[in-house]
Amino acid sequence: MTGAKGAARSAPHIATLVLISGLAALSLNVFLPSLPGMARHFEVDYATMQLSVSAYLGVGALMQLASGPISDLFGRRPVMLVALVVFLLATIGTVFAPDAQSFLAFRLTQAVITAGFVISRAMVRDLVTGENAASLLGYVTMGMSIVPMIAPVFGGILDEAFGWQANFVLMGACGLAVFLLCWFDLGETAQVSSQPFKSQLSSYGALARSGLFWGYAATITLASGSFFAYLGGAPFVGSEVFNLTSSQVGYWFAAPSLGYALGNYISGRFAMRIGMRHLITAGVLVSTVALGLAFLADLSGLHQPLIFFGSVAALGLGNGLLLPSANAGMMSVRPELAGTAAGLGGAMSVAGGAALAALAGALLHDDSGALPLLAVMLASAVASVATVIYTLNRSKRP
């Protein structure tokens, strides 16, 4: 059977799920090199235009929170298709926005595409369980690691050649391509509930009362938090502490993405052989030990970019090992609410990460060096060790 009707009855290819999450990642950072020029174009200060990143993250957290339970109720396929249509319309609006206020309104509407993070993970959990889910999630999340590494490079080239609008035209073209792919390939995977909405709400309460769910969610939030803190403080550390040029900072910025991609590959390739528990344990230890060594090195006066960014590459590796298995475990607590679990966990991760990024930025100043940033990152990593111990102990219980 072919066409949309056939697609609705068949499981999606893994490449489709990778591209869904990749599009969501692309929309976040491909236009970052254009921000100064966009501020000049709309005649506003940089802080106003930066809302297209920070406020977008906030709206994205709410979108992830909502898209999970909605997809549990009505299915993954319709929710994803609607999100793509809204994203395409909002993208057209950003290209033709007459002023900064209109642009930001359309830009925040684009955050609907972050539903792709939730739905791609939930669909994996619909199809497979346990180590199989961790393996597939490792491959799916590679799109979330590779795209942020290369997208700003293309964004800068497009901006110089055609202007900032070209980045949003690229988003629209990619969004249209993914929509067509989803129309024909994104089959429904959820067992859409036939129970009344009131009964469904009681199931959400059962999820919220699960200590195991919160253990996995806290582990994901704290492990990701070290990386979000890095995003909040690394530009300052690179330029003001290590006196790197903008292009040099850009090159070093690839470090965590390279580590994360490698960790995702290992998870995808070996999760069924190694097991989720061992990958989670290895991931948290790699991240914490690397950040601890970098903190001690900085404390002893060894202020070197290679040490700082090398530890962040190891952090990326650790997260790449940990996050696919932790996400699979989180969505396995109540399999019928996989979308809800993915949405709530994703919202927690983004919100917690935004708070840690703000804290890191507030602690850094001209005379601080990199130590405050490393301290925040290390504290988050150490806290994730505690939640991993709690979660793995809880998961042993019948």
pLDDT of residue 378: 96
Are residues 106 and 94 in contact, defined by beta-carbon separation less than 8 angstroms? yes
Determine the Cα–Cα distance for residues 81 and 62; give it in Å rounded to an integer: 18
Give CA–CA dist 181/25, Å, rounded. 17
pLDDT tens column, 86-126: 999 999 999 999 999 999 999 999 999 999 988 988 888 78
Q: Which residues contact 65 (CB under 8 A, 6 or more apart)?
A: 343, 344, 346, 347
Domains 3-192 and 203-395 are alike in CATH topology? yes
- State the Cα angle at 344 between 257 and 147, rounded to 5°: 20
- Domain 3-192 top-level CATH class: mainly alpha
Q: Give the contacts of 318 (CB within 8 A, at least 6 positions apart).
A: 223, 259, 263, 282, 283, 284, 285, 286, 287, 288, 290
What pLDDT does residue 282 have?
95
What is the pLDDT, as a whole number, of residue 126? 82
pLDDT by residue (tens digit) across 148-186? 667 777 787 888 889 899 999 999 999 999 999 999 998
Residue with token string 């939640």: 387
Per-domain boundaries in the chain: 3-192, 203-395
CA 269 – CA 151 distance, rounded (Å): 25
Residue spans of alpha helices (H) in the chain? 3-7, 14-29, 35-42, 46-49, 51-74, 76-96, 100-109, 115-127, 130-140, 142-162, 165-185, 197-208, 211-236, 246-252, 254-274, 276-299, 305-332, 338-363, 371-395
The ranges of the chain with pLDDT < 50 are 1-8
Q: What is the pLDDT of residue 128?
A: 75
Query: What is the structure's pLDDT at 290?
Result: 96
User: CB of 268 within 8 A of CB of 138?
Assistant: yes
How far apart, in whole angstroms, are the C-alpha atoms of residue 83 and residue 28? 15
Q: Under CATH, what is the fold of the domain 203-395?
A: Growth Hormone; Chain: A; (1.20.1250)
Quote the pTM value: 0.74
| C-alpha torsion 377→379→382→386, nearest 10 | -130
In this structure, what DSSP letter does residue 188 have?
-
Residues 6+ apart with CB under 8 A from 117: 21, 24, 64, 144, 342, 346
Report the C-alpha gap between 232 and 261 in whole angstroms. 21
Residues in the chain: 398
